[in-house]
Amino acid sequence: MHAKDWDLIAGRYDEEITSPFQEGVINPIYDAIRAIPDKQERTVADLGCGLGPLLPFLSKNFKQVFAIDFSPRMLEQAKRRVQGENVSFHNCSLTDLSPFYHQFDVAVSVNSVIFPSSQVVNGIFANIRKTLKSDGLFAAIFPSMEAILYEATLLFDRELDKIGNEEKALLAAKRILKRRNFDFISGVYDDHGMRQKFYYEFELKHRLKKTGFKNLHVKKVLYPWGEDMGSSQDFMKQPRVWDWFIEAQPRTDLK
């Protein structure tokens, strides 16, 4: 996944990407940020800020905001979204955050660590840890792989009720879910060459601990059912699908 890929969709991002900031989503990131003490004296980074939907909220709550993204076109549109004088914009990849080491009290990341390479992901997490001060906080949202499996189960049961044949129902569910696009070991979804990472909860905990984080707390970002979620009215009464929200702190015994 490259910056040019995101440059191409910057103008239609809201139509193509399901956002945790859209109407009807239960998103714990707001309460987590509100709970941070002395926010008006602290510095926050929005890592992979995209079009900047969170920037106005961060600008009102923190002394200084760093909006960081590797897509120049995304940053251009983000600048139009927020006018706060305490917001600065930086064209930078999350794979190299060395200019910002030890600068942030809080680092926020919303579905931006989605590189398909696990080695790259580990490197990004290590980089993010190094940007935080010793008492810093990492608050982030990640696409959930378990939610894909959950939706697959609901699809299978629906097709089984319709068809009455397990083999045919399984084939139908796989077709609807685009099973061949998913690698359930690596957690990568391949949409015509646009490859994106999804995370298992246990994997997130493992990778964050491995790269120097501690005190992990996990919650769910709950999405309303709808056609944009790839599902029909059949699932409206079922529990919602979700992304992962994680809070973590940097270990202080690492360089």
Q: Output the CATH code of domain 3-143+200-228+240-250.
A: 3.40.50.150
Q: Which residues of the chain have pLDDT under 70?
A: 1-17, 227-232
Residue 43 CA to its chain's centroid (Å): 21
Q: Quick one: which H or E segment has residue 100?
A: none
> What pLDDT is recorded for position 18?
76
pTM of the model: 0.90
Cα separations (Å) of 196 from 115, 158, 238?
A: 6, 27, 26
> What pLDDT is recorded for position 166?
95
Angle ∠(180,183,189) on CA atoms, nearest 5: 80
Q: Quick one: which H or E segment has residue 237?
A: none
> What pLDDT is recorded for position 82?
87
Boundaries of every domain in the chain: 3-143+200-228+240-250
Q: CA 94, CA 195: separation in Å to the nearest integer?
A: 17
> What pLDDT is recorded for position 14?
47
> What pLDDT is recorded for position 108?
98
Which one-letter amino acid corresponds to residue 45?
A
Q: Is there a contact between 249 and 53 (Cβ–Cβ < 8 Å)?
A: no
> What pLDDT is recorded for position 212?
97
Supply 93's token pair.
């990849």
Q: Quick one: which H or E segment has residue 213?
A: strand 213-223
Q: CA 174, CA 194: separation in Å to the nearest integer?
A: 20
